[in-house]
Amino acid sequence: MSETSVLAAGVGLPLRQRLPRTGAIDQVGVEARAAELAKRSIKRESKLLALELAIRCCDLTTLEGQDTPGKIAALCAKAIRPDASDPSVPSVAAVCVYPNLVAAAVARLAGSGVRVASVATAFPSGQSPLPIKLAEVADAVAMGADEIDMVIDRGAFLAGRYGRVYDEIVAVKEACATAHLKVILEAGELGTYDNLRRASLLAIAAGADFIKTSTGKLPSAATLPVQLVMLEAVRDVYEESGRRVGVKAAGGIRTSKNAIQYLVQVNETLGRDWLTPELYRIGASSLLNDILMQLRRERTGIYQSRDYFSND
């Protein structure tokens, strides 16, 4: 879909700004299914596998006004080797920062395999003119960001100006060049699961490599039903076109138990192909230490004090 009319002049059918039927979501049904999947009981070796996978899929994040190169250095060290005392614990997938700190992260992560992700496009509100957003994206990429986490223009979306949202994502994708594009839908501001599905399909159609639940800046961030709606949209796209789009759950995931519930949903909705950091991410800041604690508990049979895990 584009703002440019494909119809000959004089044909006044106002199709332009209407997204075609995208399919409905039943709120009660999707919440019931998410609650049911959350009850899976994951034990022993399957729990170990899940905890390691959660680390490998983690986007270790800091998005604060008070972020400094020193803070980023600490976070990057943690990202590369999450547990100083146990080298078998894998690195996380990426470190996610503001554009101004991309250079600092790139310097620390070079050669480690951990990627640098940068939020951009006037994160978190997205309420800035398009040229500024595009310049921000281009700058972040130029400084070495491997991945861009953009926000959609929720104002335009809620006003029904889907074409504008679409065109903006297309433009950002172009500005990303080879960098991977994650499109943040900010589910908490979209109001309904129907809107969430519509936004998911719109972002995928516009070229998103990943769709992401939230900015993490709102009290209502990722929830299990929100992720389920997005996974089902991704599944429908895959079934129709064979294209594999990634999903990132972000915001509010703080415990291992919760992270495993998100992974179970991916496993049972999209299957094993999505159980890789190439196609699934969890954005979190405080989750990692809880996973490390659980991992050590699974391996040694005892819980260790929080003092044994570094706060970064």
Partner 1 sequence: MTELSRRGPSPLLPVDWTYAPAPESREIAAIAERYGLFIGGEWVEPQSGAFFTTLSPRDEEPLAEIAQAGPADVCAAVAAARAAFPAWSGLAGSERAKYLFRIARLLQERAREFAVLESLNGGKPIKESRDVDLPLAAAHFFYHAGWADKLEYAFPNRSPRPLGVVGQIIPWNFPLLMAAWKLAPALAAGNTAVLKPAETTPLTALAFCELLAQAELPPGVVNIITGDGSTGAALVEAEVDKVAFTGSTEVGKEIQRRLAGTGKRLTLELGGKAANIVFDDAALDQAVEGIVNGIYFNQGHVCCAGSRLLVQESIADAVVEKLKRRMASLRVGDPLDKNTDVGAINSQAQLTKIEELVAAGSAEGAEIYQPPCRLPEKGYWFAPTVFTDVSQSHRIAQEEIFGPVLAVLTFRTPQEAVEKANNTPYGLSAGVWTEKGSRILWMAERLRAGVVWANTFNRFDPTSPFGGYKESGFGREGGRHGLEPYLSFDSG
Measured from the CB atom, the residue of 50 and 103 that comes closer to partner 1 is: 50
Find the largest Cα–Cα distance for the chain: 74
CB of 241 to partner 1, least distance (A): 14
- Of the candidate residues 2, 5, 46, 286, the single one contacting partner 1 (CB under 8 A): 46
Establish if 78 lies at the interface with partner 1 (CB under 8 A).
no
Phi, psi (deg, nearest 5) at residue 289: -65, -35
State CA 5 to chain mean position distance: 32
The 99-138 contact track toward partner 1, x by CB under 8 A, reads --------------x-------------------------
Cis bond leading into 124, ω under 30°? yes
Residue closest to 61 by CA, chosen among 293, 286, 311? 286
Interface of this chain with partner 1, residues 197 to 226, rule: CB under 8 A: none
Measured from the CB atom, the residue of 37 and 143 that comes closer to partner 1 is: 37
**How far is it, in rounded angstroms, from Cα 294 to Cα 298?**
6
Residue closest to 228 by CA, chosen among 258, 188, 270, 184? 270
Residues labelled catalytic = 149, 212, 248
Establish if 41 lies at the interface with partner 1 (CB under 8 A).
yes
Residue 150's DSSP bridge partners are 183
**How far is it, in rounded angstroms, from Cα 137 to Cα 95?**
17
Establish if 90 lies at the interface with partner 1 (CB under 8 A).
yes
- The amino acid at residue 80 is I
CB of 130 to partner 1, least distance (A): 33
β-bridge pairing 147-151 and 94-97: unpaired
Measured from the CB atom, the residue of 8 and 21 that comes closer to partner 1 is: 21
Measured from the CB atom, the residue of 120 and 229 that comes closer to partner 1 is: 229
Measured from the CB atom, the residue of 39 and 243 that comes closer to partner 1 is: 39
Residues forming contacts to partner 1 in the complex (CB under 8 A) are 23-26, 28-30, 32-33, 39-47, 49-50, 53, 56, 87-88, 90-91, 113, 232, 239, 263, 267-268, 272-279
